Amino acid sequence: MLPSVRYRTSDRVRRLSGNYQISDREREILRLIATGATNQQIANALGISLNTVKVHLRNIFAKIGVASRAEAAMYAARTGLVSLRDTPPDPPASPDISAPSAELDAADTALPEPSDLSASDRDAVQFDHMVTVSLWRRVTALPRDALIALLIIVGSVAAIVLAVVVAPRASSPSVAASTPTALDPQRWRQLPSLPTGLASFGLAAYSFDGRSFLFAVAGDRGAAPSGDVFRYDLASALWVPMSRKPTPVTDVRAAVIGGQIFVPGGRTASGAPTAVVEAYDPQRDSWRALAPMPAPRSAYALAVVEGKLYVIGGWDGASYRADVWQYSPDDDTWRARTPMPTVRSYAAAAVVEQSIIVVGGEGPTGPVATTEKYSPAADSGAGNAWSTQAPAPLSVSRIDAGSTGGLVVVVAHDDRGGHLLVYGGQTDVWTSTPIPVAGYDDSRVQTLGGRLYLIGGRTAGSASDRFLQYQVLTSIFLPALP
């Protein structure tokens, strides 16, 4: 054998067998890739910059000899970096959950091994209510090309299923918003309540030292704006008060870039919006002031793409707005971008494949179902950065949205009760499913690790302290192949 051929063959064997040296950080990133996380979601989860994620990815691809995220995900599965037990364990439920706790905990946390399934179940791919394909097991006998083909087929089938129907395991009738049914233990869990009722606050997820946290920032308790900051540890299931935000505000949102939580604008105690922007350092528990926004703004939509913060629409104290402002943390500057086609406030935004999906909100005529997509990379000033998408199933305002697996997930409500609205970023299709959870105005949503967290909100003139978890992650079991 020629030396060059011998080297390449040996090189490929080491790559396939997982013998290349991969750092702990690279292993974390590989696991996140296998869950379908985007570069921005990885950066947010690990508290690192977007550029650092890209550098890690280039190094990982070179080390393991792959050219795509799909191949990297399969490498992670084949070498045991991901398994059926890789998702974080459910934190303990609050003691007042209304069901036999032992049975609920077992049903909610245990994932069946393929050996526990019936023969007919093992012969079929089992999709269990939506979103992210992440749990690969016992698929090691196929050649790489066949595995890639299988992954593409499974992903295509998942997209079709999600576009047609999104339904819980056990169907639940529509219920009045004030009287939700008992939580479905297969999907919903009640977690430890917020230390106080809270609405219209900023919510952000942040990870460091191998631990994941949620931060609830500012908002209001039903009346005056607050500067409170509460940190929730997903491992210990405890809320802890942190250093207060210097400027108390409500009608705000929060986002993470490069290990900092950014909170722009908001409505002050005077009732007027502010242009103040403040950033919180979770590791130092400290705040600092940043360059103010171009004008005061509250009730905006907020998103992060490629390490830049985007403030979209909102309320200026006198009128609904369509402005789009881009903030660059690198030089602490703001820049006006192409305005949104629809003026509105209290809309929600989520990022799918580096585009921002803006949903709902309210304008001069009331709540809207409008869905529009903004592509920052296409914003050259030529007017092609925005496109109109399929409208949401409901006209909704004062909502929040999360994204996972290429889907936008919105928790909304009307006079029939709560609804889970799911939008396919690739298919431009919405689905709506009744849920056994009351819908409150000004709740906040965060997607993390295949789960959706629903926190706070406004009900009957007061702020709610509720904290619920919804299981979004799909489990797929594939048979061992000869």
Residue type, 302: L
Neighbouring C-beta atoms of residue 94, cutoff 10 Å:
13
pLDDT score of 106: 29
Query: What is the location of CATH 3.40.50.2300 in the chain?
Result: 1-82
| pLDDT at 105 (0 to 100) | 32
Distances (CA, A) of 40 to 48, 110, 208, 404: 10, 30, 16, 12
Q: Is the model's pLDDT at 480 over the cut of 90? A: no
- Distance between CA atoms of residues 333 and 355, nearest Å: 21
**What is the per-residue pLDDT for 468?**
95
How much is the pLDDT for 146? 52
Residues of the chain with CATH 2.120.10.80: 197-402
Q: Can you read off the two tokens belonging to residue 192? A: 């430890």
Please say if the pLDDT value at position 103 is more than 60.
Answer: no
Dihedrals phi, psi of 471, to nearest 5 degrees: -80, 115
Q: Would you state the pLDDT for residue 64?
A: 82
Q: Does 229 or 7 have the greater pLDDT score? A: 229
The pLDDT, as a whole number, for residue 165 is 37
399-416 pLDDT, tens digit per residue, is 999 998 889 999 998 888
Res 416: pLDDT? 85
> What pLDDT score was predicted for residue 82?
62
What's the distance, CA 132 to chain centroid? 12
Distance CA 453, CA 471 (A): 9
Q: What angle do CA 262, 191, 239 make, to 5 degrees?
A: 50
- What pLDDT does 143 receive? 53
Question: Given pLDDT bands bounded at 50, 70 and 90, which one contains residue 150?
Answer: low
**Average pLDDT for the chain:** 77
Judged against a pLDDT cut of 90, whether residue 446 lies above it is answered with: yes
Torsion on CA atoms 128, 353, 439, 318, rounded to nearest 10: -170
> What would the CATH number be for the domain defined by 197-402?
2.120.10.80
Q: Average pLDDT for residues 12-34, to the nearest whole number?
A: 67
Residue with the larger pLDDT of the pair 268 and 91:
268
| 411 Cβ contact list (under 8 Å, min separation 6) | 399, 400, 418, 419, 420, 421, 435, 437, 439, 443, 445, 452, 454
What pLDDT is stored for residue 184 in this prediction? 57
Q: What is the pLDDT of residues 65-78, one digit of tens each?
A: 787 888 888 787 77
Question: Above 60 in pLDDT, residue 331?
Answer: yes
Predicted model pTM: 0.68
- The confidence score (pLDDT) of residue 313 equals 98
According to the per-residue pLDDT averaged within each range, which of 7-16, 271-280, 410-419, 453-462 is highest?
271-280
Contacts of 26 (CB under 8 A, 6+ apart): 56, 59, 60, 63
Question: Cβ distance 100 to 193 under 8 Å?
Answer: no
User: What pLDDT sits at residue 329?
Assistant: 96
Confidence at residue 11, expressed as pLDDT on a 0 to 100 scale: 43
Reported as a pLDDT band with limits 50, 70 and 90, residue 83 is: low
Confidence of residue 350 (pLDDT cuts 50, 70, 90): very high
Average pLDDT over residues 350-370: 96
What dotted CATH number matches 1-82? 3.40.50.2300
Q: Is 128's pLDDT higher than 80?
A: no
List all residues 6 or more positions away from 38 whose beta carbon is below 8 Å from its beta carbon: 351, 353, 354
| Nearest-angstrom CA–CA distance, 201 and 220 | 7
Q: Would you state the structure tokens that stand for residue 151, as one six-digit string?
A: 């992954």
Name the least confident of 37-51, 241-255, 429-443: 37-51
Q: Does pLDDT of 215 surpass 80?
A: yes
Rounded CA gap, 292 and 269, in Å? 18
pLDDT tens digits for 220-251? 998 899 999 999 999 999 999 999 999 999 99
What pLDDT, on the 0 to 100 scale, is given for residue 93? Answer: 43
| pLDDT at residue number 414 | 87
pLDDT digits (tens, 9 = 90+) for 53-67: 888 888 888 778 787
Mean pLDDT, residues 379-400: 90
If you average pLDDT over residues 85-106, what whole number do you get? 38
pLDDT at 182 over 60: no
Three-class secondary structure assignment of the chain: CCHHHHHHHHHHHHHHHCCCCCCHHHHHHHHHHHCCCCHHHHHHHHCCCHHHHHHHHHHHHHHHCCCCHHHHHHHHHHCCCCCCCCCCCCCCCCCCCCCCHHHHHHHHHCCCCHHHCCHHHHCCCCCCCCCCECCCCCCCCCCHHHHHHHHHHHHHHHHHHHHHCCCCCCCCCCCCCCCCCCCCCCCEEECCCCCCCCECCEEEEEEECCEEEEEEECCECCCCEECCEEEEECCCCEEEECCCCCCCEECCCCEEECCEEEEECCECCCCCECCCEEEEECCCCEEEEECCCCCCCECCEEEEECCEEEEEEEECCCCEEEEEEEEECCCCEEEEECCCCCCCECCEEEEECCEEEEECCEECCEEECCEEEECHHHCCCCCCCEEECCCCCCCECCCCEEEECCEEEEEEEECCEEEEEEEECCCCEEEEEEECCCCCECCEEEEECCEEEEECCEECCEECCCEEEEECCECCCCCCCC
Looking at the chain, the whole-number percentage of residues with pLDDT higher than 90 is 50
**Whole-Å CA distances, 73 to 33, 103, 393:** 6, 33, 34
Q: 120: number of CA atoms within 13 Å, CB side?
A: 0
